[in-house]
Amino acid sequence: MPQFALLASGMTDATYPDPTTLTTKNPFPVGYAIYTGTVNQAWTSQAKKCLILPPTNVPYSQFTPKQLWLRFVPSQAGATYTVIAWKFALEGTTPVWSVLASDGSNSYTGEVEDYYDNFDNSPVYFQITNLSGGSITAYYDSSIAGVI
């Protein structure tokens, strides 16, 4: 059973846009590395959150990637919206955001729980698009991931 914790509230098309449009695109302090507990302060100052697997209290060597459960709760009942999942990873030798190959874009109506597959230790960011009204509050399974 998932152990849901708050990822972000007040998520809209404007507050959680395409991560390639953010001023600071890299959540890591320098380049790209397996998460060690240090986050780029410029990333933090943007007030955007992404998930990192495993949670910070589980050594990566003891972690097996799993399905990550999320819950999306719109402030307006019956609102329609699309969630695009982005992964921050190396493309050649350059770190970039790219849409997840599996479950990269999902359209929803109202409150939903859904899972995403094929996670590794790369940060994952959830973009909100096509929101019909209000905002979204997102929760994640804190037994599988941590927030940066």
Strand ordering across the sheet containing 136-141 = 4-11, 136-141, 68-74, 112-116
Strands 4-11 and 112-116: unpaired
User: What is the structure's pLDDT at 103?
Assistant: 75
The whole-number mean pLDDT for each consecutive block of 10 residues of the chain, a chain of 148 residues, reads: 90 95 83 68 87 64 70 97 90 83 89 81 90 97 83
pTM for the predicted model, two decimal places: 0.87
The pLDDT value recorded for residue 17 is 95
Whether the CB-CB separation of 125 and 11 falls below 8 Å is answered with no
Burial class of residue 141, CB neighbours in 10 A (0-12, 13-18, 19+):
buried
Q: What span, in angstroms and rounded, lies between the C-alpha atoms of 9 and 57?
A: 24
Phi-psi domain of 118 (left: phi exceeds 0; alpha: psi -120 through 50; beta: other): left
What pLDDT, on a 0 to 100 scale, did the predictor assign at position 115?
Answer: 86
Residue 99 CB partners (closer than 8 Å, separation 6+): 84, 85, 86, 87, 105
- Buried residues in 3-28 as b, exposed as e (16+ CB within 10 A): ebeebbeebbeeebeebeebeebbbb
The whole-number pLDDT of residue 128 equals 97
Q: How far is 141 from 146, CA to CA, in rounded Å?
A: 9
Compute the residue count for the chain. Answer: 148
- The identity of residue 63, as a single letter, is F
- Residue 118's pLDDT is 58
